[in-house]
């Protein structure tokens, strides 16, 4: 018998975290964060990390659990989230996965196989040097030429994933990682799940994103990055490649001004939200909830969950 699992996903700034807490209070649940940045200690402002106060006593997993010098990836998430599901169920509660990293959610829901192909360190080094010399966009064009679907799904600045996709093609004799991922998506779900995606009017979403970025600056995003930089973190660390952090880091290095960084973060976050929506539209068995205006998403979710599980 499959374990129950509730998923609350959607683009950034749609109110997923507060909805997950409210739902958890109603159905006796605990929350597993599916966010690639909230795992890092000391990276609170730029990740819009949920606070203890905002948790309202609801137990959260995979928040503040590793140091920024460590690497967090989809395999670690899948394994740690699966453990969290078992722990939550052992307490008689329902696990609620909450976040906007669709690849992470997919990996857990379908228990995706990430068996490594043969590693080619010399190729990785060669591609890293190519990116440093010619820029991330030039490296991304290499991927677009051999696997357009993967290039569409991976941001040019995510150099590690771009190189991984190129390496997959090289070590498998030309196979496309997008095809491999599509095959994995056809696996049967590993959980008895209810999958919600929150969305809203595009203009309202973009206004929320812009306001959130302004609030991050007011709360001390620049100072947070200065502290992290002082601890020896650079753009070579996976944690510092996150939205907000890499732009401020480059501003501190004199590449552009802090105000220009603010506008770049807003623009990149809007683009990120569009990519998130594109991802979730490919997923199966989704309950979409438009949270524009005064819609109560928790009431809708509670009704659906009650019919499904309770």
CATH label of the domain that carries residue 143: 1.10.20.140
- Of 69-73, 237-241, 263-267, where does the model show the most confidence? 263-267
Map tokens 């997950």 to a residue: 20
The answer for residues whose C-beta is within 8 angstroms of residue 153's C-beta and 6 or more apart is 178, 275, 279
Q: Are 30 and 93 contained in the same domain?
A: yes
Angle at 285 between CA 152 and CA 17, to 5 degrees: 75
Task: From 183, 214, 232, give the residue that closes a domain.
Answer: 183
What is the span of the domain harbouring residue 106? 4-112+187-308
Are the C-beta atoms of 29 and 51 separated by less than 8 Å? no
The confidence score (pLDDT) of residue 118 equals 60
Task: From 138, 167, 183, give the residue that closes a domain.
Answer: 183
Kindly report the number of other CB atoms within 10 A of residue 307's CB atom.
Answer: 9
Q: Are 131 and 95 contained in the same domain?
A: no
Q: What is the CATH number of the domain that holds 259?
A: 3.40.50.300
Mean pLDDT of 210-226: 98
The confidence score (pLDDT) of residue 116 equals 57
DSSP 8-state class, residue 286? E
Q: Are 195 and 276 contained in the same domain?
A: yes
Are the C-beta atoms of 114 and 74 separated by less than 8 Å? yes
Q: What is the 3-state secondary structure (H, E, C) of 28-75?
A: CEEEEECCCCCCECCCCCCCCCCCHHHHCCCCEECCCCECCCCCCCHH
Nearest to 143 by CA among 134, 156, 157: 156
The answer for residues whose C-beta is within 8 angstroms of residue 308's C-beta and 6 or more apart is 194
The confidence score (pLDDT) of residue 171 equals 79
Q: Residue 151 — very low, low, confident or very high, per pLDDT cuts 50/70/90? A: confident
Q: Are 126 and 77 contained in the same domain?
A: no
The confidence score (pLDDT) of residue 6 equals 98
Nearest to 197 by CA among 100, 268, 262: 100
Q: Are 129 and 260 contained in the same domain?
A: no
Check pLDDT > 80 for residue 185: no
Q: Are 155 and 275 contained in the same domain?
A: no
Nearest to 81 by CA among 31, 40, 24: 31
Instruction: Look at 241 and 177; give whichever has higher pLDDT.
Output: 241
* Residue 22 token pair: 């409210």
Q: Quote the mean pLDDT of the chain.
A: 92
Q: Residue 276 — very low, low, confident or very high, per pLDDT cuts 50/70/90? A: very high
What is the Cα–Cα distance from 18 to 6, expressed in whole angstroms? 15
Q: Are 69 and 154 contained in the same domain?
A: no
- Of 78-82, 163-167, 169-173, where does the model show the most confidence? 78-82
Packing angle, helices 136-146 and 159-171, rounded to 10: 40
Q: Are 108 and 206 contained in the same domain?
A: yes
Task: From 165, 183, 201, give the residue that closes a domain.
Answer: 183
Report the number of distinct structural domains present in the chain: 2
Q: Is 287 helix (H, G, I), strand (E, B) or coil?
A: strand
pLDDT of 15-48, one tens digit each?
999 999 999 999 999 999 999 999 999 999 999 9
pLDDT of 80-139, one tens digit each?
999 999 999 999 999 999 999 999 999 999 998 776 556 778 898 899 899 989 988 899
Q: Are 127 and 216 contained in the same domain?
A: no
Nearest to 57 by CA among 30, 92, 81: 30
Q: Residue 191 — very low, low, confident or very high, per pLDDT cuts 50/70/90? A: very high
Q: Are 162 and 194 contained in the same domain?
A: no
Calculate what percentage of the chain has a pLDDT beyond 70. 97
Instruction: Look at 289 and 309; give whichever has higher pLDDT.
Output: 289
The answer for residues whose C-beta is within 8 angstroms of residue 42's C-beta and 6 or more apart is 67, 68, 224, 227, 228, 231
Name the pTM for this structure: 0.85
Q: Are 178 and 250 contained in the same domain?
A: no
Check pLDDT > 90 for residue 246: yes
Q: Is 161 helix (H, G, I), strand (E, B) or coil?
A: helix
Q: Are 93 and 127 contained in the same domain?
A: no
């Amino acid at each position: 018998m499959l374990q129950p699992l509730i998923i609350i996903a959607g683009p950034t700034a749609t109110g997923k975290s507060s909805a997950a807490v409210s739902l958890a209070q109603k159905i006796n649940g605990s929350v597993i964060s599916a966010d690639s940045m909230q795992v890092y200690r000391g990276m609170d402002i730029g990740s819009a990390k949920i606070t203890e106060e905002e948790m309202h006593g609801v137990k959260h997993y995979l928040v503040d659990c590793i140091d920024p010098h460590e690497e967090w990836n989809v395999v670690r998430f899948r394994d740690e989230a699966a453990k969290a599901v078992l722990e939550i169920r052992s307490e008689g509660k329902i696990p609620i996965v909450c976040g906007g990293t669709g690849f992470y959610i997919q990996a857990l829901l379908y228990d995706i196989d990430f068996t490594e192909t043969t590693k080619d360190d010399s190729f990785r080094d060669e591609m890293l040097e190519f990116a440093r010399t010619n820029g991330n966009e030039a490296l991304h064009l290499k991927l677009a030429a051999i696997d357009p679907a993967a290039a569409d799904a991976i941001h040019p600045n995510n150099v590690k994933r771009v190189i991984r996709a190129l390496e997959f093609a090289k070590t498998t004799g030309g196979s496309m990682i997008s095809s491999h991922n599509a095959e994995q998506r056809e696996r049967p779900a590993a959980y008895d799940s209810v999958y919600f995606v929150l969305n809203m009017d595009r203009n309202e979403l973009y206004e929320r994103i812009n306001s959130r970025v302004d609030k991050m600056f007011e709360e001390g995003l620049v100072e947070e990055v200065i502290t992290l930089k002082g601890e020896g973190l650079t753009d070579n660390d996976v944690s510092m490649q996150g939205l907000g952090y890499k732009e401020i880091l480059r501003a501190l290095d004199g590449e552009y001004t802090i105000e220009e960084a603010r506008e770049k973060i807003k623009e990149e976050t809007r683009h990120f939200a569009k990519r998130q929506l594109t991802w979730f539209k490919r997923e199966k068995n989704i309950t979409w909830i438009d949270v524009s205006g005064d819609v109560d998403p928790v009431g809708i979710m509670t009704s659906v969950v009650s019919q499904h599980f309770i």
